[in-house]
Amino acid sequence: MPRQLPEGCEIFLDHVGHFIRDPEAASRAFGRVGFAATPVSIQVNPDASGGESPTGTGNVTAMLRRGYIEALFKTADTPLGRELDAALARYCGVHLAAFSVADAAAAHRRLAADGFAVRPLIKMRRPVATQAGKDVAAFTVARVEPGVMAEGRIQILTHHTEAAVWQPRWLEHPNGATALIDLVIATAEPGAAAARYARFLDRPAAKNAAGHVVRLDRGCVQFVAPETLVRFAPGLAIPSLPFIGAYAIAVRSLAALERHLRNNAVAFIRRAGATAVRFPDDIGQGAWLFVERAADLPWRA
């Protein structure tokens, strides 16, 4: 998909979020694997007085030419900050999956009509520095109540400030990463989870050789049994189920990626057109699957 953002009724896998404790350590961990991390940003919401109130979280990101990776940390004792603490008590790693649409308000109404317990639609902002000066990244986010999606903070959003979020200076990475492709969730009941996500994402679920999949207009969500996830990323420990255990990243060259990993003493496993890398401890439990072509991913092959 050549566009960053969806149009019409399209829905994209937009970004994934690691819940972490130390943003500086997370930035260093991203750097060892070859991702260029952005500076720390503190997230806020507009309040009734016309000012801004902290959401309770901040982030660092690795921005890609398609999608991005986020690492979220607690900044204040708010409901959102306490949710992050509760997730970290399960495991440090990916607890957030965000899907982009052209109209988050319409998605919010659809979710409510389909029986999902939704939170109020929110408008989120975070300050960003650009080469031209200060700017703001703005989003409208549709969320369900905690526990409705057992896998974590699963949300649908609309971006309002593409240029502020995807700045060209942050899109080049030493590991050659270009795009977020797919998300892999390990669960005791892949079929039931896929059916729930099919309702949430308004796309059909299907069986495939690895388990069950929900295909989007850009990207897929793959649901697998825990033993299947371990086949994709050998040696990966599964802390609890459900577990957002892996996601796929496109790179320009696996050979160049692997040179960077060797130079930074990062272990990896190469097999059948994909390179598996476990997350450094500072960004949690889980793994990346790097490929040059999405068709080489083991659950797509």
**18 and 161 share a domain?**
yes
Of the three residues 170, 186, 209, the one that is the final residue of a domain is: 170
Conformation bin of residue 73: beta by default, left when phi > 0, alpha when psi is -120 to 50: beta
pTM of this prediction exceeds 0.75: yes
pLDDT at 233 over 70: yes
Q: What is the mean pLDDT of residues 63-92?
A: 96
Asked whether residue 197 is assigned to any structural domain, the reply reads yes
**128 and 182 share a domain?**
no
Asked whether residue 3 is assigned to any structural domain, the reply reads no
Q: Which amino acid is at 48?
A: A
**Strand order across the beta sheet in which 220-224 lies:** 205-208, 211-215, 220-224, 177-186, 243-251, 287-291, 274-278, 269-271
Point out the least confidently predicted range of 118-127, 191-200, 266-275, 287-296: 118-127
**100 and 156 share a domain?**
yes
Q: What is the mean pLDDT of residues 271-296?
A: 97
**57 and 162 share a domain?**
yes
Identify the band that residue 259 occupies on the pLDDT scale cut at 50, 70 and 90.
Answer: very high
| Segments forming the whole domain that contains residue 100 | 12-170
**18 and 60 share a domain?**
yes
Q: Which residue has the tokens 């921005």?
A: 63
Q: What angle do CA 26, 131, 72 make, to 5 degrees?
A: 25
Identify the band that residue 168 occupies on the pLDDT scale cut at 50, 70 and 90.
Answer: very high
**227 and 273 share a domain?**
yes
Mean pLDDT, the chain, whole residue set: 95
Of the three residues 126, 146, 170, the one that is the final residue of a domain is: 170
**94 and 226 share a domain?**
no
Q: Encoding tokens for residue 284?
A: 């949690």
Asked whether residue 34 is assigned to any structural domain, the reply reads yes
Q: What is the tens place of the pLDDT at every residue in 100-152?
A: 999 999 999 999 999 999 999 998 887 788 888 888 889 999 999 999 999 99
Q: Which amino acid is at 36?
A: A
pLDDT score at 254? 98
Asked whether residue 81 is assigned to any structural domain, the reply reads yes
Separation of alpha carbons 161 and 148, rounded Å? 29
**One-letter-per-residue 3-state SS of the chain:** CCCCCCCCCCCEEEEEEEECCCHHHHHHHHHHHCCCCCCCEEEEEECCCCCEEEEEEEEEEEECCECEEEEEEECCCCHHHHHHHHHHHHCCEEEEEEEECCCHHHHHHHHHHCCCCECCCEEEEEEEEECCEEEEEEEEEEEECCCCCCCCEEEEEEECCHHHHCCHHHCCCCCCEEEEEEEEEECCCHHHHHHHHHHHHCCCEEEECCEEEEECCECEEEEECHHHHHHHCCCCCCCCCCEEEEEEEEECCHHHHHHHHHHCCCCCEEECCEEEEECCHHHCECEEEEECCHHHCCCCC
pLDDT at 277 over 90: yes
**143 and 26 share a domain?**
yes
Q: What is the tens place of the pLDDT at every residue in 205-230?
A: 999 999 999 999 999 999 999 999 99
Number of domains within the chain: 2
Q: Which of 165, 173, 172, 183 is nearest to 43 (CA)?
A: 165
**131 and 208 share a domain?**
no
Asked whether residue 301 is assigned to any structural domain, the reply reads no
**100 and 224 share a domain?**
no
Calculate what percentage of the chain has a pLDDT beyond 90. Answer: 87
Q: What is the tens place of the pLDDT at every residue in 30-71?
A: 999 999 999 998 877 766 676 777 889 999 999 999 999 999
Asked whether residue 41 is assigned to any structural domain, the reply reads yes
User: CB-based contacts of 115: which residues, under 8 Å, 6+ apart?
Assistant: none
**91 and 36 share a domain?**
yes
**184 and 99 share a domain?**
no
Of the three residues 170, 190, 207, the one that is the final residue of a domain is: 170
Asked whether residue 152 is assigned to any structural domain, the reply reads yes
Q: What is the CATH number of the domain that holds 207?
A: 3.10.180.10
Asked whether residue 148 is assigned to any structural domain, the reply reads yes
